[in-house]
Amino acid sequence: MATCANCGATLSCGCQKRTLANGKSGCANCASKVTKQEVKPTTVKPTKTVWGPDRYKHLQKFTKK
């Protein structure tokens, strides 16, 4: 028998195992508790600066000369 990594409850079969909203593994009971808690949204930062004199340079292949 497996046990829950979060609360230590005994899992009778693998169908009770869930991936929680915070990315961890747990049981169905923990899944309902974690969804009630506020999970911070992930923020995506831009990888490149798009402003400046070269900002339209990538569009040159689409423009006629």
Taking only the tens place, the pLDDT of each residue in 8-65 is 888 888 787 888 777 778 888 887 776 666 556 677 776 666 677 777 777 888 887 6
Helix (H), strand (E) at residue 33? helix 28-36
The domains of the chain are located at: 2-62
Q: What is the pLDDT of residues 36-51, one digit of tens each?
A: 665 566 777 766 666 7
Three-state DSSP class for residue 65: coil
Give the pLDDT score at 36: 63
> What contacts 43, CB < 8 A, 6 or more positions away?
none
Q: Are 34 and 21 in contact (CB under 8 A)?
A: yes
Res. 4 pLDDT band, cuts 50 70 90: confident
What phi and psi, each to the nearest 5 degrees, are found at residue 26? -165, -175
Q: Say whether pTM exceeds 0.75.
A: no
